[in-house]
Structure 1
């Protein structure tokens, strides 16, 4: 996905009386929970934990400890990076307040069931001591069992066992006779029946085992009914499977509830699904981008599918090529090669030469001449008559010829590489100290660079040399 096409997601975080601003770097979805990683202006990492779109807690962390929930979420969950259009849809609010830590669990019990509070506690082991969380979960378990709510207490016990598999007391309670019938019920994996009594278990279990087709299908059915965004992410995760038009249409409808059609075209392109074949209005959408001046966005939608476009798209390709910023073209030079192949039957226009010139200038700003020459070979093959490419080739022959530094300097000056031109003219000035020509050129280069004092100094030297007869 192209970072140029995606706006960064900024977020404001209030913790007590301190407010910090940061940018969301990535998000991890793990069933009903998501973790948002934010980088602050001071390059510190803040992690925010959400449950069903409600902010639960967050804090700065120097590192993510192995074995914690956050670590598991970024390794086993669905991870969305900063360059993905859907990332913005995962941020419920761009301004959040971190809850008070010592009041957190009492507040959670006002909004969620005790089973949900237990599960939420297992996601907070980066912020609380594990023993503290185990103690709090134990209190919930014993409270439910004393109240005669044995199934609910067993549900809490299952979450505790998953949280700390080595916990001896949890193992012993799980093996007790009073919970045998519940053990058998859950081990049956009769998802419809279990879901009626424990939907959280079904969602968590199927999410963890979503690589299996049966569990994935159950999870998809659950999510489509209650959480369209996570359902969409689940579908996107399995990008390599075959997609039928009906499925694509179904998820297109879901996607358009969260992102624009232009962004959705970028997402489909990332999945190697040709939007110009599966979206009925794709050509109209492309021209809408062009007419709005969004040439780079239009190019990004086309990159992977130019070879599969009919000639009726050539007008659009030509306008995109002529109007894309040279820096954008430079950063996607390999991807633009199919564009040029599509348009190679057209004559070399002034617009084309201007674009190749701009690309060459930008490249020379960042790379040495041989590297630029190698990178532009693809363009030369398609446009062998390009005047710009002829000059680049001529410069390559001059680099190793110390007797022709003046010519090379003139070429560098033409490509606005004034420092490199000055180096060439200095070389010539040292070889011919009585020759006023390189001195005059150095003066002009400093003038182009906006260094008027240096330009005036060399202009004086030029005038002195020009007025004095050469001595030999």
Structure 2
């Protein structure tokens, strides 16, 4: 449904002196870090890394390495595929400038703690050499250690070890006796206690282990205090219908009510059962004569709408064109079964005729008949169905090819009718009737020269017949 109702989020990226524009393909949220994948008009892929909703760095990548943070984010994070409406909320700005790579870490020190910079470095391994990043993190470790801040130096070591588990020097330092008390603290303390001293560690730990109900609950508590968007994303990952009202208020901080209706629909939560406001949204679309848009919003739940929506469905049925109905035929057959009454039989028969005309342009006679056959349950005396049934019966009978052509003409299938009349003309070259019918078909097609030509042939055959 997203693709029919929601446009993809667009973004403009300034890289040095070049500006490229593209559409966001997907976004991955991994604790404090967001990764955005952008596809440009030139079919190039850009990846942008955000920390606490601020752009850190980004660049064009031909390939995402399997061991990289970006790959990890898209496999272990909360991934939102475009054009999901919430993607726009994950992107703080729709026009960004990629920072100077050579000055990046100097600039980061203005805004973030050294521990945060150590973690941020681990998210940039698609853009920087891994050894260079390890050296950067090592510098931070030794800075904390020299200044006597052993807790912080231990925390940075944990970040380094998670980044490169095979790094021998990090393992050896973690096992130093001076860090034993910190090992004990992280092993024996509760998450709330650890969170007071190392919120970055706890947030990452909880996010990576959010499938555990207790850990997920604690992560939700953290988000409730400081990041309502992440709390909403966690709910979207595991939604519960009984909490829709609570999360509706939260969602409307970031998206519109129409977008929220679409999201609930994709989560298989019927928005028309749980959102009283949804009905007025649809009614406004109908007032604005946006009938197809209103129908697209309702189609997924056409089988489970409250009775109060019947007037809306009646309005749609009367105003939607047959082409749109044909694309969603099964849903509209259900709708017509639900709404049929004596006064609407004539209207429904007209709609069936229009559908037959459109479907015959794309499918053969048998396929169209089978698609429309369920309507016979609603309209057992449908003239359209009866005629199509008769057309199938005479389809292979050359003695009734003229009658078949007349039926095709009635359904505005002029080329198929011409084929039938040509066949009859070949069988009966002295009969002027099929020639006259061919002339009329070309008139309907707007092909005046051809119509006049066959009218002349008709006149000649008729004259010869009268003389004879």
- Fold similarity call, TM over 0.5: yes
Cα distance, 1:312 vs. partner? 3.5
Cα distance, 1:4 vs. partner? 1.5
1:86-235 equivalence runs, <5 A: 86-188=86-188, 190-235=190-235
Deviations 1:3-48 (A, max 9, x none): 2221232222232333332222222222222222222223333322
Identify if the C-alpha distance between structure 1 residues 437 and 200 changes in structure 2 by more than 3 Å, giving closer, same or farther: farther
The alignment status of 1:330 with 2:314, answered yes or no, reads no
Q: Would you say the 8 A contact 1:348–1:383 is kept in 2?
A: no
Identify if the C-alpha distance between structure 1 residues 390 and 13 changes in structure 2 by more than 3 Å, giving closer, same or farther: farther
The alignment status of 1:272 with 2:248, answered yes or no, reads no
Q: Would you say the 8 A contact 2:430–2:465 is kept in 1?
A: no
**Residues in 2 aligned to 1:378 and 1:311: alpha-carbon distance in whole angstroms:** 23
The match for 1:366 is: 362
SS across alignment from 1:389 = helix
SS across alignment from 1:187 = helix
Cα distance, 1:250 vs. partner? 1.4
Q: Would you say the 8 A contact 1:360–1:372 is kept in 2?
A: yes
Q: Would you say the 8 A contact 1:223–1:230 is kept in 2?
A: yes
The match for 1:6 is: 6
Structure 1 vs Structure 2 CA RMSD: 3.0
Deviations 1:105-129 (A, max 9, x none): 3332322222222222222233333
Q: Would you say the 8 A contact 1:361–1:416 is kept in 2?
A: yes
Worse overlay, 270-279 or 443-452: 443-452
1:409-424 equivalence runs, <5 A: 409-424=405-420
Unaligned runs of 5+ in 2: none
**Residues in 1 aligned to 2:439 and 2:18: alpha-carbon distance in whole angstroms:** 55
**Residues in 2 aligned to 1:269 and 1:423: alpha-carbon distance in whole angstroms:** 47
The alignment status of 1:258 with 2:251, answered yes or no, reads no
Deviations 1:155-176 (A, max 9, x none): 2222222222222222222222
TM-score (norm 1): 0.87
Cα distance, 1:342 vs. partner? 1.6
The match for 1:67 is: 67
Cα distance, 1:258 vs. partner? 1.6
Q: Would you say the 8 A contact 2:286–2:294 is kept in 1?
A: yes
SS across alignment from 1:64 = coil
TM-score (norm 2): 0.88
Q: Would you say the 8 A contact 1:266–1:300 is kept in 2?
A: no
Cα distance, 1:422 vs. partner? 4.0
Indicate which of 276, 289, 292 corresponds to 1:293.
Answer: 289
The alignment status of 1:390 with 2:356, answered yes or no, reads no
**Residues in 2 aligned to 1:400 and 1:335: alpha-carbon distance in whole angstroms:** 33
Deviations 1:319-344 (A, max 9, x none): 12223344443333333343223213
Deviations 1:194-238 (A, max 9, x none): 222222222211111111111111111111222222211110111
Deviations 1:436-455 (A, max 9, x none): 54445445555555555555
**Residues in 2 aligned to 1:43 and 1:419: alpha-carbon distance in whole angstroms:** 42
Deviations 1:340-370 (A, max 9, x none): 2321345444543343344334433333333
Worse overlay, 207-216 or 59-68: 59-68
Identify if the C-alpha distance between structure 1 residues 322 and 168 changes in structure 2 by more than 3 Å, giving closer, same or farther: farther
Q: Which has the larger radius of gyration?
A: 2
Indicate which of 352, 377, 381 corresponds to 2:377.
Answer: 381
**Residues in 2 aligned to 1:447 and 1:95: alpha-carbon distance in whole angstroms:** 56
